[in-house]
Every structure is written in C-alpha cells, then in structure tokens.
Homo-oligomer: A and B are copies of this chain.
Amino acid sequence: MSEEPRGGDTADTTTAKPPMRDALVAAAFQLFLERGYEQTTVDDIVTLAGVGRRSFFRYFPSKEDVVFPDHERCLTDMKAFLGAGTGEEEPVRRVCDAARLVLRMYAENPTFSVQRYRLTKKVPGLRAYELSVVWRYERALAEYLRGRFAGRPDGTLQADVIAAAVVAAHNNALRSWLRSDGQSDPDTAVDHALGYVQTSFGSSPGAGDASAAEQEDVVVVISRRGAPMWRVVREIESALGPE
C-alpha cells in the first residue's frame, strides 16, 4: 500500500507525527487483505512491520482501531467545525455540512476506503466496531442540535431524530459510492441524500446549492380544527425556510 504519501518529516502540526503508525497500518491491511482479519494476529502484524508487539498497542488501543486509523482526527475536526459556528446558521444545514467532512475523509483515499469497506462488510466484529465509531459522530451532531434547539419543545427529541436521519442519509450515499469501487461521484450522491433529510425536516435544502435546489420542496400543510396554533405556526415557520 502507500507507504508514506506525505513527503516531509517537517510537516504541519496536525498529521505528520508517526512513521511507525503508518507502517503498522500498512502491514495490517496487507495481511488482512491476503488472509483475512480474524486469521491475522497482532503478532503477525508486528513481525511483518518489524516492531515489538507492545508498540502496537501503544498506537492502537485495540486490534480493531488499526482499521479506522483516522476517525479520531475526523471526529475532532467535526466537533471543531460545529463549535466554530456563529450560532446563526440554519441548524439542519449545519449538521449536514458537518457530515460532509466524513465523506471528505473517505474520498481522500478511495482505494483504502473501498478495501476497508469490503473488510467491514465481511467481518462482524469490525461492523460492530464501526457502529461505535458512527455513533460518536451521531452524538456530536445530536449534541450540537440539542444546543441549538434548547428551549424548543421536544428539542432533544428533534435533535436526536435529525442527527440519526443525517447519519443514515450520509451512510446510504457513502455506501453506494463504496459499492461502486469509488467510481461514482460521492459528492452529488451525498448532496442528494442530505437534501432529502433537509426537506423532510422542513428546511429548504437549496440556498446556494444548485444541484439540490431543484429537486423537491413539497410539504403538505393540513391543520385539523382544534390543533394548537403555536404548532401550526412552528410548522409553517420551519417549512418556509432557514429560520
């Protein structure tokens, strides 16, 4: 695999630390692909990488972590992105943009992402671990939305549901891209999927995004006699657009 795409040892502060870490990832994936994940022991990895067994667990807290080497950084980036807002953005749109950060990470190394996808699809243990990774993204989005929806009735409920919907839509598009071996265009697929979520939860998906703007904006408003007026107003408000 790619032994060390980043050239200089004197690189930026974020990512240029460990040569050994990358060597372990490369050795691990080589063995995983040629003989399977469960058939590969940590000892096999470290002997191929030429390092001590103890060093493996210094870089990766578990054997599964070597399969997702960059998710920790991506989660940090997502939290930073969500925390860097002015607090005036449309919340649903904001979490959709945050989800796109994950797609960007996958799209940076298509071949690596596809290989990992095939692994996680086959190995139940890796699928379970991936779930816990995805769950942390979802929690980050939900926590952000909870903050933005504070005071709103059912704020935490809406935050949890929308976060789950955003993650599901993102993963749906991401998986279809991975299934195409990275041949299709991931960005338009994710835009389309997230557009569906935005329309479902009553915010116009467009506003600067031409591809999604023309697709669908249908919300049916029927108010039964006796329905609380504050709810009618809220639905209309949220249906009409970005706050």
Taking CB as reference atom, which chain B residue is nearest A163? B168
- Residues in B whose Cβ lies below 8 Å from that of A169: 157, 160-161
- Residues in B whose Cβ lies below 8 Å from that of A227: 216-218
The listed residue (B161, B220, B226) touching A202 by CB distance below 8 A is B220
Evaluate contact between B231 and A216: CB separation under 8 angstroms.
Answer: yes
How many subunits of this chain does the assembly comprise? 2
CB of A234 to closest CB in B, whole Å: 8
CB of A141 to closest CB in B, whole Å: 11
A-B pairs with the 6 shortest C-beta distances?
A220-B221, A164-B168, A217-B224, A221-B221, A220-B235, A128-B132
Evaluate contact between A220 and B219: CB separation under 8 angstroms.
Answer: yes
Interface size class of A (residues with CB under 8 A): 35 or more
- Please report A residues at the B interface, Cβ cutoff 8 Å: 127-129, 131-132, 135, 154, 156-158, 160-161, 163-165, 167-169, 171-173, 192-193, 196-197, 200-202, 214, 216-224, 226-228, 231-232, 235-236, 239-240
The listed residue (B128, B200, B221, B240) touching A201 by CB distance below 8 A is B200
CB of A159 to closest CB in B, whole Å: 9
How far apart are the CA atoms of A200 and B196 in the complex, in Å? 12
CB of A196 to closest CB in B, whole Å: 6
A–B complex contacts, Cβ < 8 Å, 9 sampled: A160-B171, A163-B168, A164-B164, A164-B165, A218-B224, A218-B228, A219-B235, A220-B223, A221-B221
- Residues in B whose Cβ lies below 8 Å from that of A168: 160-161, 163-165
- Residues in B whose Cβ lies below 8 Å from that of A226: 214
- Residues in B whose Cβ lies below 8 Å from that of A156: 172
